[in-house]
A = this chain, B = another copy of it.
Amino acid sequence: MAHDDRRLQVLRAIVQDYVSTNDPVGSKALAARYDLGVSPATIRNDMAVLEEEGYITQPHTSAGRVPTDKGYRFFVDRLSAVKPLSAAERKAIEKFLDGAVDLHDVLGRSVRLLAQLTRQVAVVQYPTLSRSAVRHLELVPLSTSRLLMVLITDTGRVEQRIVEVPVDTEADTVADLRSRLNAAFTGAKLAEASDKVSDLVDSSPPQLRPLVAAVSATLLETLVEPSEDRLVIGGTANLARGSALDFPGTVRPLLEALEEQVVVLRLMAEVGPSTVTVSIGEENEHEALTGASFVSVGYGSGDQALGGLGVVGPTRMDYAGNIAAVRAVARYVGHLLAES
């Protein structure tokens, strides 16, 4: 039907216009700015239908229309072509991310970059431990009864834990244990580690058992405990830009939710690599995010994501641009981590 087609165009135009101007958009303005080939009156009819179907709404009687969450959702789903990044932007990404010295640095740069590209709040998750593989395990004696365990993964992540060992321990014994541990775990996916731990304990000489058990327990704790999934957040200053206009209440609950990293991590949990996920306004479970949209994607070179990254902003955001930026940064981060 020609109707439906045009109505889609109208919806698209409303979204675009509203995103760029931040003003409710009226039929006249639409007709003037986008050349749809029809008069304002016709557009008004279409708008009435769109409103009835729940795609747009008017803040008050004599104002223009504003997209609803459903409207944005429709718009995003029909987003055929993702706006490719400009050459300058691609270059900026490369320049920004090259020269990172370690994992922390890579993620720190990524989050700043993403915040800058999208002018939104950016979040980057540390590579999830359980999806990484062990590269090296190190034991450092602190005293006769305490060890520092350092775990290095192939994604460059370093975890450290202090282990209280039940019996006094010689330096030689520690060295021995270190090589045993490395022999057992190097290259193993962390998720598979728990099986190996019990094997290792069983196969140890009896007098080493308590030591092995203590270290293994801490190791398992480190691997399994997902609470340590860290998050880097940047660009919160962007929240203060149009605040009153963009977010219903204040930005406060949003900032709180961001600091409460759990909330964001839960959202991240669902992302897959190379498929950008967009959740809009009310679609977000958490109350503080019901006025916001979240664009996220997993990064990682393989088939499964090592972690996620994304941006949080008002529902009234440039979805096409943000999706492109998020995807591009994820790709770069994936490459960088695969290399290191």
- Give the chain B neighbours of A152 by CB distance below 8 A: 140, 148, 150, 160
What are some 12 contacts across the A-B interface (CB < 8 A)?
A: A101-B161, A104-B230, A136-B138, A136-B140, A148-B156, A150-B152, A158-B158, A162-B340, A236-B236, A240-B250, A240-B255, A243-B250
Q: Are A161 and B102 in contact (CB under 8 A)?
A: yes
Asked whether A235 is an interface residue with its Cβ less than 8 Å from the other chain, the reply is: yes
CA distance A240 to B252 in the complex (A): 5
> Is A251 part of the binding interface, using a Cβ–Cβ cutoff of 8 Å?
yes
> A140: which B residues are within 8 A, CB to CB?
135-136, 152
- Taking a contact as CB atoms under 8 Å apart, the answer to whether A160 and B102 are in contact is yes
Residues of A participating in the B interface, judged by any CB pair closer than 8 Å: 101-104, 112, 135-136, 138, 140, 142, 148, 150, 152, 156, 158-162, 230, 234-237, 239-241, 243, 250-253, 255-256, 259, 340
B residues less than 8 Å from A243 (CB atoms): 250
List the B side residues contacting A237 at CB < 8 Å: 252-253, 255-256, 259
Q: How far is the CA of A243 from the CA of B240 in the complex (A)?
A: 10
Neighbouring B residues of A252 by C-beta, 8 Å: 237, 240-241
Minimum CB–CB distance from A224 to chain B (whole Å) comes to 13
Question: Known interface pairs A160-B103, A340-B162. Does A235 touch B259 (Cβ–Cβ under 8 Å)?
Answer: yes
Q: How far is the CA of A101 from the CA of B241 in the complex (A)?
A: 37
Residues on B with C-beta less than 8 A from A158 are 150, 158, 160
* Residues on the B chain within 8 Å of A162, using CB: 101-102, 340
Q: Which of B148, B234, B240 contacts A251 (CB 8 A)?
A: B240
Which of B150, B230, B234 has a CB less than 8 Å from the CB of A138?
B150
In addition to A102-B159, A150-B152, A237-B252, 10 A-B residue pairs with Cβ atoms within 8 Å of each other are A102-B161, A135-B142, A136-B140, A148-B156, A152-B160, A158-B158, A236-B236, A236-B255, A237-B259, A240-B250
CA distance A112 to B259 in the complex (A): 9
